[in-house]
A and B are shown apart, each in its own frame.
Chain A
Amino acid sequence: MRRYGERTALDGVSVSVPAGSSLVVFGPNGAGKSTLLRVLATLLAPHAGTTTVLGCALPREGWKVRGRVGLLGHEPLLYKDLSARENLRYHARLHDVRSERAEELLDQVGMWLRADEPIRELSRGMVQRVAACRAVLHDPELLLLDEPASNLDPAATAALEPLIGRSSGRTRVVTSHDPAGGLKDADLVLGLRAGKAELHGSAHDFDAAAIGALYA
């Protein structure tokens, strides 16, 4: 359970994601999707219940999880007055990752030529690409993705697939408003409404039309 003051943002959500699989989370705005990701990322402490991430109980063992999780949320977590390269190098130092890794990722997502421009001068799609690089810079075991395809054109989506997509081989928890796209890349489905789990099961048991009817 997680509350914001008097409001309960998550309550009674029970879900288990096996290593290497992908969970897609559907739900209308305010359903608790982003809160779930922030709890799993150790940025918010659960107020009740049991949360285990990568074998560590939260919030007690949160320090063991940090550095093993990559979060790509609505905010890119990048300083607007620094360039893409400077931002990634900064995060590389924090995660004790060699700076060449930042260069490789910038090249991989097609941002090499714009890498020295301040983040504030880049388009939202470009910022999202840099943010994806930041999220996977330290090669995390668990990826937490909050609508990762937002602001991305098809070419950028394809460029990010090996990093944050299913083919990355990482365990993923992904929120989505796209039933067809979300189900295609998922093993498990969780539907949230007003902080409570409304549906949960294998992705094969649901079809996009039914999900769309519930959460469109």
Chain B
Amino acid sequence: MRRATAAVLRKELRLELRTPQSVPAMALFSITTFVVFHFALQRSDISGDLASGVLWVTLLLGAMLGIARLFVADREEGGFDGFLLAPVDRTSLFVAKATALLAYLIAVQIVAVPAFVLLLLGPSPSNVGALIGLLALADLGIAIVGTLVGALAIQSRARDLLVPLIALPLLIPVLICAAKGTTPLLTDGGAHAVAARWPLTIALYDLVFGLVAYAVFDYLLED
């Protein structure tokens, strides 16, 4: 499985580097949305739960663009058939795609989060480590669910509609926990401690959906 996962992942990243589509689209969407919020909220800066909500809604909606594109080349250029003809564990496709999506999300956030701090955030984030931890846990959940939904939606011509329709409700728990967890990190007067239940809940979510994906992904590839 490791060989196939590495092969698919390497191919995936090479395609994205060769003809960048997902990461620039997600990054530009996120930054543009922060600019829109900057003007629409009519405030010089935001903090606390508002800042946390703006950050996570933007990152989540930006992720939808990457999820919708995740399997496009495989569908349109026969990559699915090429993979299915090989004597490999089909779960390796899921692992590789989820890892690629996770990499795209991290790449986007390296640009988008500083843009958010510059454009919107009032207080400087002092506990950067906790913020990175929450981002990583939430990204993992988005990558797992996004890969599942992407594989499901790609079978339909209405994939651009189906991806947000299916993925957003499924990701609501991640959104709630990530936003609740991030709020104390973005408050005026310095960061407060993050309640352990929020990152733990996201970790549990990641584990549950990881197992679900492992169990059902094979069937999504069946004709």
Contact = CB atoms under 8 A, between A and B. Distances in A.
B83 interface: yes
A78 B78 contact: yes
Given A81-B15, A90-B7, A94-B4, A43 B223 contact: yes
Contact of B85 (A69, A80, A81, A86): A69
Given A63-B87, A71-B85, A82-B15, A77 B79 contact: yes
Interface residues of A, number: 29
A66 interface: yes
A44 B223 contact: yes
B84 interface: yes
Contact of A95 (B10, B19, B81, B87): B87
B222 A45 contact: yes
B15 A94 contact: no
Contact of A45 (B7, B73, B223): B223
Given A79-B73, A90-B11, A96-B3, A41 B85 contact: yes
Contact of B77 (A68, A69, A78, A91): A78
Interface string B138-167: 000000000000000000000000000000
B192 interface: no
Interface in A21-49: 41-45
Contact of B82 (A42, A63, A67, A77): A77
Given A63-B87, A94-B86, A77 B15 contact: no
B88 interface: yes
A67 B11 contact: no
Interface in B63-91: 73, 77-79, 81-88
B6 interface: yes
A66 B3 contact: no
A43 B86 CA distance: 11
Contacts of A63: 87
Nearest to B87: A67
Nearest to A90: B11
B87 A66 contact: yes
A76 interface: yes
A81 B83 CA distance: 17
Contacts of B3: 93, 96
B19 A77 contact: no
B18 A77 contact: no
B197 interface: no
A77 B4 contact: no
Nearest to B73: A79
Interface of A: 41-45, 63, 66-69, 71, 73, 75-82, 86, 90-91, 93-96, 118, 134
19 contacts: A41-B85, A43-B223, A44-B223, A63-B87, A66-B85, A67-B86, A75-B81, A76-B78, A78-B82, A79-B79, A82-B11, A82-B15, A90-B7, A90-B11, A93-B10, A94-B82, A94-B83, A94-B86, A94-B88
